[in-house]
Structure 1
Amino acid sequence: MALHVFDLDASAGRVSDLGAQVLSWTPHSTNRPVLFTSRRAGQAREVHAGIPICAPWFGQGRTDVSVPYGHGLVRWIEWDLVEEDVSENRARYVWELDHSATEGTPGSDDYPADLYYRYVAEFDSELRVALTITSPTQQTIVDQAFHTYFYVDDLARSRIDGLDGSEFLDGSRRGVHDGTLQIEGPHDVIYFDAIADSPTLTIGEPDRTVTIRTSGARDAIVWNPGPDGAQRLNGFDADEWEHMMCVEVGNVQHHAVTIPAGGSHTLSMSVAVEE
């Protein structure tokens, strides 16, 4: 797994060619990480850190689609780093992945053999990522999400705003979310259309606010394993659930994106922090 480390005037972090995954990001203005990185990241196949990319399916797939394992193909594949540009002020990484690189991987035959991925990650005082999926010759349907792990000092004192009025799916339970979200234990909920018209979410802590802005996304997903779930996760210490919340953005389930033959779709996200 090839790692790339940067330390700029404004921020520092690490990225990996495996899954084109951003592993960490810390603005120097706060010297406190914005992205969560498990202490045992890298000791298990699933790296609980930063921004895993979920595509071309999310979770266990859509209700009418059977998938062999969770969260898609591309997070488990070594991407081709085609650009690395690091200066004092900015770091920019560009990866590409031809779907043929997944040949032989369970689930890959359900998608066009020429499906193509391009991922750009840029860092300065903010973090910006963009995933473009192109299908040159066939129409295809893809789920996509940035499965972002955010660091919080204390989960019980943190809140998420921007989900108000969205339809949620919690297992088989459906409803409409009202107001600010605060979680203190296990949580795994999709908020449909939460960011379709107002593409901004915030994570509020007592002494700082993290702002997430998106483009090309409709849905938000919030996940935390809670104390019991944390003990079952490989590569994740049992006490770390209190310092992490996954606030994910993308297009999942019945909002999966239809890419026409010759077309593409771009999902982008920026992250900024204010104390």
Structure 2
Amino acid sequence: MSERIDKPSTTLPPGQWSFTRWKTIGQLEALEVQHPLFEAALTLQGAHLVHFSQTNESNWLWLSDLARFQPGRAIRGGIPVCWPWFGDPSRNPPAIRANIKTPSAHGFARTALWQLEDVNESAHEVEISLSLNTSDDFSELWQGHALALITFNFSLRGCQIALTTTNLSKTPMALSQALHTYLPTPDIAGTRLLGLGNSQYIDTLKDWSYATQDGPVYFEGETDRIYESGDRLVATTPERRTKLTGFGSDSTVVWNPGPEKSKRLSDFPDTGWQNMLCVETANAAGDYRVLNTGQSHTLGVLIERG
């Protein structure tokens, strides 16, 4: 990271902050939090959290060693914001597909430049809010007008993220979305995900067929499933337990690219699949949401140590 850079006066003056500083990561503007109790870093592009940890701990999030911080390029790792659609547009419900004008997956929020709204600090926590107003800026990609407001709350307890979407258009708006959380593990073979037992899921690797989860989720190769559950989850690795409590969500995406797909992914080590898993708090598949004019919906997740 480079030295602090000055920002326009439309944002809070950095001198009023005790723990938060402007930084650049690669070619991207970012905010870095160095609190006595915890540390965090997020980029304005994508409202993308790339680091959170308690002080003197390793990153709670997995970030690819090959991640590139460049304008217009999605960051591999951390917590990308998939919005206002999740996944392949062609696999979304018709009400969502009708507004999408591009074949690109996961929407445009993760490469869009978000606006800083507020930074609030105390002796116990730091809260940062960013916004994205779609208006006409994304009319070539999407037919809709919405305001996305994302708030990050960092504390000794953990990290909470809340993404609120408000429909500013004159007609109902359908959306799917996800907070695409990458978690680290020293060994994917010794990792399991608890809390999805008996849940139905769509296995996208088996022609989107339905199955029922029997016990914990284990990772034995490529995994790409959409679970019909928004219950609290616990990811257990040989090093740690991480609790994920979602809200505004009745679906969870579980993903690991496995050995073959890892070799085809951009900015991803060939063996990276052995050291990560994704547990995504979502509104996906049948859990997509429809907002009437002026209506809002909040999707969020609280990440804590188990």
Q: Does 1:58 align with 2:86?
A: yes
Partner of 2:224: 188
Write the mapping of 1:18-167 to structure 2, written as runs, cut at 5 A. 18-28=45-55, 31-42=57-68, 45-61=73-89, 62-64=92-94, 65=97, 67-86=102-121, 89-100=124-135, 102-106=137-141, 108-109=142-143, 111=144, 113=145, 115-125=146-156, 126-136=158-168, 137-167=170-200
- 2-side partners of 1:147 and 1:117: how far apart? 16
- 2-side partners of 1:99 and 1:28: how far apart? 36
Kindly provide the CA deviation profile for residues 109-144 of structure 1, in whole angstroms up to 9, marking residues without a partner as x.
2x2x3x111000111121000000001332111101
Percentage of pairs with the same residue: 27
What TM-score does the superposition give when structure 2 sets the normalisation length? 0.82
Partner of 2:282: 250
- 2-side partners of 1:43 and 1:51: how far apart? 14
Stretch of structure 1 that moved more, 14-23 or 79-88: 79-88
The offset of 1:250, in angstroms, is 1.2
- 1-side partners of 2:136 and 2:216: how far apart? 42
Q: Does the 8 Å contact 2:185/2:239 carry over to 1?
A: no
Tell me which of the two structures has the higher relative contact order, counting C-alpha pairs closer than 8 angstroms and 6 or more residues apart: 1
- 1-side partners of 2:37 and 2:274: how far apart? 27
Write the mapping of 1:218-233 to structure 2, written as runs, cut at 5 A. 218-233=250-265
Q: Does the 8 Å contact 1:138/1:262 carry over to 2?
A: no
Gaps of 5+ in 2: 1-27
* One-letter identity of the residue aligned with 1:145: A
Q: Does the 8 Å contact 1:6/1:86 carry over to 2?
A: no
* One-letter identity of the residue aligned with 1:261: T
The offset of 1:63, in angstroms, is 4.5
Q: Does the 8 Å contact 1:73/1:102 carry over to 2?
A: no
Q: Does the 8 Å contact 2:46/2:109 carry over to 1?
A: yes
Stretch of structure 1 that moved more, 139-148 or 168-177: 168-177
Q: Does the 8 Å contact 1:140/1:260 carry over to 2?
A: yes
* One-letter identity of the residue aligned with 2:217: L
**Partner SS state of residue 232, structure 1:** coil
* One-letter identity of the residue aligned with 1:264: S
- 2-side partners of 1:133 and 1:97: how far apart? 10
- 2-side partners of 1:216 and 1:70: how far apart? 22
- 1-side partners of 2:55 and 2:220: how far apart? 29
- 1-side partners of 2:123 and 2:220: how far apart? 39
Higher-Rg structure is 2
**Partner SS state of residue 217, structure 2:** coil
The offset of 1:102, in angstroms, is 3.4
Kindly provide the CA deviation profile for residues 73-92 of structure 1, in whole angstroms up to 9, marking residues without a partner as x.
21110000111234553222
- 1-side partners of 2:181 and 2:201: how far apart? 19
- 1-side partners of 2:148 and 2:69: how far apart? 27
Q: Does the 8 Å contact 2:186/2:239 carry over to 1?
A: no
Kindly provide the CA deviation profile for residues 199-252 of structure 1, in whole angstroms up to 9, marking residues without a partner as x.
301101234210001110000111111121111111111122111100001111
The offset of 1:165, in angstroms, is 1.6
State the superposition RMSD in angstroms: 1.7
Q: Does the 8 Å contact 2:48/2:80 carry over to 1?
A: yes
Distance 1:207 1:151, change over 3 A: closer
